[in-house]
């Protein structure tokens, strides 16, 4: 059986001067929940966009379900995307629709289900994220965390075979955080789907994932099962797990030295 | 070196030209793509109706009010000038011709560009900025079919109706001033107008103009929105561009169309 | 804004928009008149048509009875051949006189028909033989000056 997702030596840059990904290799087996972790701006969202075919890598191969995403035609790509759910980092809810219509949107676009059936399905998804009562609100009336949960419900609206979560835990209180984590795990196991979670939250992800990748400066610098990660002596991993500011993962975007820059301003 | 500023200036002109041409090429490709996705979009009537509401119904008030005022001013000024030559009776013809041939389509088009065009650009631009278009693509729904094409057609449908309404309101405004206030005979007013204005080519050309303007402004509006830089400034710059480019396009197209339509009408 | 309210408003909008186009066509553009009524053609040749334009009115006793449909230069006689479209309701005798006239000094140029006494009426594509060309102001003035000069100053 092929893996759900396969990245082989993938390199990508938004422009030629600054590569964002430099030779990423990872394979994500079917039915697993896999986390991609890394500092801010290290290219995690970019990896998800490559998997979804919104960006095309300059080098290497991205395979989803055995097919090379870059080489798919428009129709094939759309057919593939119909089986992928994606939670966007900033929610990306449709602001001119209610919460209900947002979740009904993919169903209305891709199925001929009756209105009554769609209503039941939408309420079911909303119930799962604890927002059945907010069905008639507009996205502008939601808090950040609520919007994220709605986006999550929308991502799984069509019961996809693969779900990509970009920061599902950001902006959630500890209770919803645990609930959403469990929800991702349960959805994954109940529907037999594959989940990729991009997150900073080591603690929460260690509880639910099967495997973790650590990305830094466009490369995978560590990987392993939760147990391996917990017991790892790797300084990168330790920095993440223990949440230390200083360590091998740089906090600063590449720049001249601070002192140098201040001195330049003084002249 | 003294030639340096010159070379730099030329280089800038060259770069600007290349950018403009490539943008126009991009816009043309975009237009074809919108047309390609139109049948699918038009099959879902409610989507387009909703955009007719936003582009057309919400522009009604500004079109009606401006139409009446422009007509009243035409009535006053027109009568004054015509009366100098003892031709005050031709007021109806003067007003009708100005509105039907030029002012109706052009002024309604300018108002449409700033009222509806800017709204379309801002909406699409913001959807892009907030990744709504990306999200749609990831749901295997093409934003060109779902978002862009209905807005384009909503504008194309609304524009001729708004232009006709503007002309009628203008005639009404001129009627109020000319007949009710100044005292031109009502029969003369309408009679002169009807004797001098033909359904073909005057009214038909007016409709053709407004359709062309509708296509141009709607295309510019959706293109600028879709092409906007996904930031707050990007969207605001795109909105401005829609109004500026839309207005210039209307004036330029109006000149070209007028040359083709009315050349030879007056002469043999 | 829900669906049915949008539908209602769009319905109102489209109705008054189409109403406006109909108004332009009928009340402003006069579509209902001559264009659609049954009509026939008459022809006449003039040595000079002055400022006569396409679709200029054709009047009889001041009443519009038709419009100028085409104007061509006849290259054998070098006269202007004018085709008029006349409303079927109006018939004119064979000896009708057609004249290119101007309403007022600067007004519109039209063709005036003056009916004769012949009992036979012109049929479709009939030819009006008696015509009177446009008065050209410059010619009149130069003629007037010429008369003055030739009659001599010694009077
Ligand atoms: N549209 C774009 N054009 C140019 N550069 C971009 C674009 N989007 C992202 N980048 C750059 O690519 C790099 C990776 O961005 P990406 O969004 O993948 O980061 P990330 O890992 O998701 O970060 P975060 O955790 O903060 O969301 C960043 O350095 C960013 O500056
Ligand atoms: Mg990101």
With CB atoms and an 8 Å threshold, state whether C24 touches B85: no
Are C29 and B50 in contact (CB < 8 Å)? Answer: no
Facing B139 at nearest CB: one of A90, A96, A109: A109
Residue B268 resides in a domain: no
- Residue bearing tokens 């012949």: C118
Residues lining ligand 1, Cβ inside 6 A:
A 14, 20, 38, 40-46, 89
In chain A, % of residues over pLDDT 70 = 94
DSSP calls for chain B: -THHHHHHHHHHHHHHHHHHHHHHHHHHHHHHHHHHHHHHHHHSHHHHHHHHHHHTGGGHHHHHHHHHHHHHHHHHHHHHHHHHTT-GGGHHHHHHHIIIIIIHHHHHHHHHIIIIIHHHHHHHHHHHHTTHHHHHHHTT--HIIIIIHHHHHHHHHHHHHHHHHHHHHHHHHHHIIIIIII---HHHHHHHHHHH--IIIIIHHHHHHHHHHHHHHHHHHHHHHHHS-SSHHHHHHHHHHHHHHHHHHHHHHHHHHHHHHHTTTS--
Q: Is the pLDDT of residue B52 over 80?
A: yes
Residues of B in contact with C64 (CB under 8 A): 195
| Domain coverage including residue B101 | 12-261
* Residue carrying structure tokens 């779900």: A163
CA distances from A73 to A68, A69, A78, A241 (A): 11, 9, 9, 41
Q: What is the mean pLDDT of residues A60-84?
A: 90
Higher-confidence residue: B211 or A152?
B211
Q: What's the pLDDT tens digit per position in B251-261?
A: 999 999 999 88
Q: Which residue shows structure tokens 């829609």?
A: B242
A253 vs B260, higher pLDDT: B260
Residue B266 lies in a domain: no
Residue B199 lies in a domain: yes
Q: Is the pLDDT of residue A28 over 80?
A: yes
Instruction: Give residue B267's pLDDT.
Output: 44
pLDDT of residue B234: 95
CB B155, CB B218: distance < 8 Å:
yes
Question: Residue B94: is its pLDDT beyond 60?
Answer: yes
How many structural domains does chain B have? Answer: 1
**What is the distance in A from the centroid of ligand 1 to the CA of A154?**
24
Residue among B138, B156, B174 nearest B222 (CA): B156
Band of residue B71 on the pLDDT scale cut at 50, 70, 90: very high
Is the CB of A105 inside 8 Å of chain B's CB atoms? yes
Q: Looking at the domain assignment, is residue B4 inside a domain?
A: no
CA of A44 to the centre of ligand 1 (A): 8
Residue B268: predicted pLDDT: 35
**Rg from Cα positions in chain A:** 20
B267 inside domain: no
Nearest residue in B to A94, CA atom: B132
Query: For atom 22 of ligand 1, which residue has the closest CA?
Result: A45
pLDDT digit string (tens) for B220-267?
999 999 999 999 999 999 999 999 999 999 999 999 999 988 775 544
| pLDDT value of residue C36 | 59
Structure confidence at residue C155 (pLDDT): 47
Dihedral class, residue C3 (left if φ above 0, else alpha if ψ from -120 to 50, else beta): alpha
Coil, strand or helix at C13? helix
- pLDDT for C26-66, tens place per residue? 887 766 554 557 889 999 999 888 878 777 888 988 888 88
Q: Check if A111 contacts B (Cβ < 8 Å).
A: no
Cβ–Cβ < 8 Å for B140, A78: yes
Nearest protein CA to atom 26 of ligand 1, as residue: A40
Q: Write down the pLDDT at residue A254.
A: 65
C1 touches chain B (CB under 8 A): yes
Any domain includes B3: no
Q: Which of C30, C57, C83, C85 should we substitute to test contact with B (largest number of B Cβ atoms within 10 Å)?
A: C30
Question: Are the CB atoms for A194 and A30 separated by under 8 Å?
Answer: yes
Residue A240 has pLDDT above 90, yes or no: no
Distance (Å) from the alpha carbon of B209 to chain C's nearest alpha carbon: 13
Per-residue pLDDT tens digits for C73-97: 988 989 999 999 898 888 999 899 9
Mean pLDDT, to the nearest integer, of A240-252?
A: 67
Query: Does position B1 have pLDDT exceeding 70, yes or no?
Result: no
Q: What is the CA angle B114-B163-B96, rounded to 5?
A: 130
Contact criterion met (CB below 8 Å) for A199 and A168: yes
Q: What is the pLDDT of residue A245?
A: 61
Is C45 in contact with C81 (CB distance < 8 Å)? Answer: yes
For residues A94 and A174, the model is more confident at A94
* C-alpha to C-alpha distances, B174 to A113, B79, B101, B102, B189, nearest whole angstrom: 55, 10, 16, 16, 10
Asked, for residue B138, whether it belongs to a domain, the answer is yes
- Residue B259 CA, chain-centre distance (Å), reads 18
- The verdict on ipTM greater than 0.90 is no
Identify which of A96, A208, A98, A100 has the alpha carbon closest to the alpha carbon of residue A153.
A100
Percent of chain C with pLDDT over 90: 19
Closest chain B residue to A55, measured at CA: B134
Average confidence score pLDDT of chain C: 83
Instruction: Please list all protein residues whose beta carbon sits less than 5 angstroms from ligand 2, which is an ion.
Output: A 45, 89
The rounded percent of chain B whose pLDDT value lies above 70 is 97
Answer yes or no: is B6 within a domain.
no
- For residue C137, what is the DSSP state? H
Report pLDDT digits (tens) over A198-236: 988 888 888 899 999 999 888 898 899 988 888 888 887
Chains B & C: contacts with CB separation below 8 Å: 98
DSSP E strands: which ranges in chain A? 5-12, 21-28, 33-38, 59-64, 67-68, 84-87, 162-166, 194-199, 211-216, 219-224
Q: How far is A82 from chain B (nearest CA, A)?
A: 5
| Residue A258 reports pLDDT greater than 80 | no
Strands A33-38 and A194-199: parallel
Task: Please give the Cα distance from A220 to A167 (Å, whole number).
Answer: 18
Ligand 1 atom 18 nearest Cα: A43
HSE (side-chain half, CA atoms, 13 Å) at C116: 15
Find the closest chain C residue to B202 by CA distance: C29
Tokens 């890598």, residue located: A57
Exposed e or buried b per residue across B148-184, where buried means at least 16 C-beta atoms within 10 angstroms of its C-beta: bbbbbbbbbbbbbbbbbbbbbbbbbbbbebbbeeeeb
Confidence of residue A139 (pLDDT cuts 50, 70, 90): very high
Q: Which of A92, A96, A109 sits opposite B131 (nearest CB)?
A: A92
């Amino acid at each position: 059986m092929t893996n759900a997702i396969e990245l082989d030596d993938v390199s990508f840059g938004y422009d030629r001067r600054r590569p964002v990904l430099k030779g990423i290799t990872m394979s994500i087996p079917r039915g697993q929940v896999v986390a991609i972790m890394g500092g801010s701006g290290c290219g995690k969202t970019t990896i998800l966009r490559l998997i979804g075919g919104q960006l095309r890598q300059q080098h290497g191969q991205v395979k989803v379900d055995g097919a090379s995403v870059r080489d798919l035609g428009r129709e094939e790509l759309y057919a593939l995307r119909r089986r992928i759910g994606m939670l966007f980092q900033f929610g990306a809810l449709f602001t001119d629709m209610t919460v209900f219509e947002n979740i009904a949107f993919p169903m209305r676009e891709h199925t001929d289900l009756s209105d009554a059936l769609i209503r039941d399905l939408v309420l079911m998804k909303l119930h799962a994220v604890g927002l059945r009562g907010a069905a008639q609100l507009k996205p502008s009336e939601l808090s950040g965390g609520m919007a994220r949960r709605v986006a999550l419900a929308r991502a799984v609206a069509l019961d996809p075979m693969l779900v990509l979560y970009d920061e599902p835990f950001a902006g959630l209180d500890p209770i919803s955080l645990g609930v959403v984590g469990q929800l991702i795990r349960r959805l994954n196991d109940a529907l037999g789907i594959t989940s990729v979670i991009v997150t900073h939250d080591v603690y929460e992800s260690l509880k639910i994932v099967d495997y973790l990748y650590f990305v830094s400066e466009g490369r995978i610098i560590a990987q392993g099962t939760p147990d391996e990660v917990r017991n790892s002596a790797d300084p990168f991993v330790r920095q993440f797990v223990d949440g230390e500011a200083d360590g091998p993962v740089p906090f600063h975007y590449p720049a001249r030295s601070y002192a140098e820059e201040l001195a330049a301003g003084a002249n | 070196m003294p030639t340096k500023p010159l070379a730099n200036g030329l280089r800038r002109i060259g770069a600007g030209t290349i950018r403009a041409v490539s943008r126009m090429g991009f816009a043309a490709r975009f237009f074809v793509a919108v047309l390609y996705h139109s049948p699918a979009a038009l099959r879902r009537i409610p989507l387009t109706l909703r955009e007719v509401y936003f582009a057309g119904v919400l522009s009604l008030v500004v079109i009606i009010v401006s139409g009446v005022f422009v007509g009243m001013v035409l009535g006053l000024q027109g009568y004054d000038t015509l009366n100098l030559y003892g031709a005050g009776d031709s007021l109806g013809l003067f007003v009708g011709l100005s509105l039907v041939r030029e002012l109706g389509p052009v002024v309604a088009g300018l108002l449409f560009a700033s009222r509806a065009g800017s709204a379309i650009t801002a909406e699409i631009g913001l959807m892009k900025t907030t990744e709504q278009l990306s999200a749609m693509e990831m749901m295997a729904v093409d934003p060109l079919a779902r978002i862009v094409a209905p807005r384009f057609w909503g504008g194309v449908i609304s524009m001729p109706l708004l232009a006709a309404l503007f002309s009628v309101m203008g005639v009404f405004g001129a009627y109020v001033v000319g007949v009710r206030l100044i005292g031109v005979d009502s029969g003369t007013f309408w009679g002169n107008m009807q004797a001098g204005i033909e359904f073909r080519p005057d009214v038909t050309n007016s409709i053709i103009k407004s359709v062309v303007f509708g296509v141009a402004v709607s295309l510019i509006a959706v293109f600028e929105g879709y092409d906007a830089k996904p930031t707050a400034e990007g969207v605001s710059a795109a909105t401005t561009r829609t109004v500026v480019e839309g207005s210039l396009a209307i004036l330029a197209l109006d000149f070209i169309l007028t040359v083709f339509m009315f050349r030879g009408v007056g002469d043999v | 804004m829900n669906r049915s309210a949008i539908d209602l408003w769009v319905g109102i909008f489209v109705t008054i928009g189409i109403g406006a186009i109909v108004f332009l066509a009928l009340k402003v553009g006069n579509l209902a008149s001559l264009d659609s009524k049954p009509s026939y053609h008459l022809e006449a040749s003039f040595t000079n048509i002055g400022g006569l334009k396409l679709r200029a009115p054709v009047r009889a006793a001041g009443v519009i009875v038709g419009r100028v449909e085409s104007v061509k230069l006849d290259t054998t006689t070098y006269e202007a051949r004018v085709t008029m479209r006349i409303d079927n309701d109006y018939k004119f005798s064979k000896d009708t006189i057609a004249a290119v006239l101007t309403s007022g000094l600067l007004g519109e140029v039209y063709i005036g028909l003056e009916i004769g006494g012949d009992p036979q009426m012109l049929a479709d594509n009939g030819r009006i033989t008696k015509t009177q060309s446009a008065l050209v102001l410059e010619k009149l003035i130069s003629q007037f000056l010429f008369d003055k000069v030739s009659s001599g100053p010694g009077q």
